[in-house]
Homo-oligomer: A and B are copies of this chain.
């Protein structure tokens, strides 16, 4: 990816304030560990209450992490005075989601003015070893003239 230039110099404060309002991310226990223009990394310690019937992290929790990382990778490039919404995503689940924690790394593929396409990969981390558990392809929309919170 070529270097991306944020349109809003205060993108970091904007993203962090928005993330702090995401109650569902607090509910599942995720936090942001890295942010740069067009890229965002989130981590989620695995917990029994996030799991599905086989004891792996539920695809919905994995998706929550991937989608949120993708949204903030996109939001980091948007101008001030705009809001971000997910319009659609597709997820392929490649391996059981397990380990000490999940890490989602999102990267903008196409920084359009209205639509921003983002790839977001989720890894299960066990003892420092990473396994790709899911990959997402997502489209984010920039709501110009809106505020976040909208």
Chain A residues engaging chain B, CB cutoff 8 angstroms: 18-19, 21-28, 48-55, 57-61, 63-65, 67-68, 83, 85-95, 109-110, 114-115, 117, 119, 132, 135, 137, 139, 141, 148-150
A115 touches B87 (CB 8 A): yes
On whether the beta carbons of A22 and B149 are closer than 8 Å, the reply is no
User: Which 6 pairs across A and B sit closest by C-beta, in order of nearness?
Assistant: A60-B64, A24-B58, A90-B90, A94-B110, A21-B53, A88-B92
> What is the CB-to-nearest-CB distance from A127 to chain B, in angstroms, rounded to a whole number?
19
6 A-B Cβ contacts within 8 A? A21-B52, A22-B51, A55-B149, A63-B64, A88-B88, A95-B110
Q: How far is the CB of A34 from chain B (nearest CB, A)?
A: 19
Q: How far is the CA of A90 from the CA of B19 in the complex (A)?
A: 24
In this complex, the member of A19, A48, A60, A93 whose beta carbon has the largest number of chain B beta carbons within 10 angstroms is A60
Interface class of chain A by DSSP: mixed
A128–B67 CA distance with the chains assembled, in angstroms: 30
Residue numbers in B under 8 Å from A92 (CB-CB): 87-88, 109-110, 117, 137, 139
